[in-house]
A = this chain, B = another copy of it.
């Protein structure tokens, strides 16, 4: 089994998608919000690109969440905020989520054999499930504003590390080896470290510090959001 890392939305190539299991990693914050929402009892999360699309989907059983440039969309119930769902007590709802660029990677990966969504909150479940599918794996970091994002790279590094422990025969690309080492060096200082990343700093300035710290929690959920017909639901694991 080969494990390859892609580090920004732009870089992914068809051969890194087709016939593979792709884990879309966007720690701050789309992936973390999706995991937290499914953990809070939403039946599914539908990532959409525009605010208009989200509004068009509103019905009684649907909650809308999203942000533009870090700020909650005014008409929506929630921002792209994992901590917002901690007190959510209405099981059975659908979530429609739109973010500045966090959902683009998910749609770019749609042609993969399996598409999962991962972050620190569900890293262990994600990599275990990916290994079970027995295909080559692409860890697809969304990055931030077209740049490598440290938090996504470290989550990928953690997944590589666990994959190599669980399946020592797996072959990892050079970047995967580098990021595994980064995680082993820096992972002990999570979640505070996330506040020092480019995105973490920006979010903290926008009063999103609580979210950033929450996104650095390891394996809070045993949930693997899995894309089926544009909807993300919990994989059976």
Binding site for B on A (CB under 8 A): 147-150, 153-154, 157, 173-175, 177-179, 181-182, 184-186, 196-198
Contact = CB atoms under 8 A, between A and B. Distances in A.
Given A184-B185, A185-B184, A148 B178 contact: yes
A229 to B, nearest CB: 33
B198 A178 contact: no
Contacts of A196: 177
A150 B179 contact: no
Contacts of A149: 174
Contacts of A185: 181-182, 184-185
A149 to B, nearest CB: 6
B181 A197 contact: no
A154 B173 contact: no
A13 to B, nearest CB: 10
Q: By DSSP majority rule, is chain A's interface helix, strand, loop, or mixed?
A: helix
Contacts of A147: 173-175
Nearest to A178: B182
24 contacts: A147-B173, A147-B175, A148-B175, A148-B178, A150-B175, A150-B178, A153-B174, A153-B175, A157-B178, A173-B198, A174-B197, A174-B198, A177-B196, A177-B197, A178-B178, A178-B179, A178-B182, A181-B181, A181-B182, A181-B185, A181-B186, A182-B182, A184-B185, A185-B185
Contacts of A153: 174-175, 178
A225 to B, nearest CB: 24
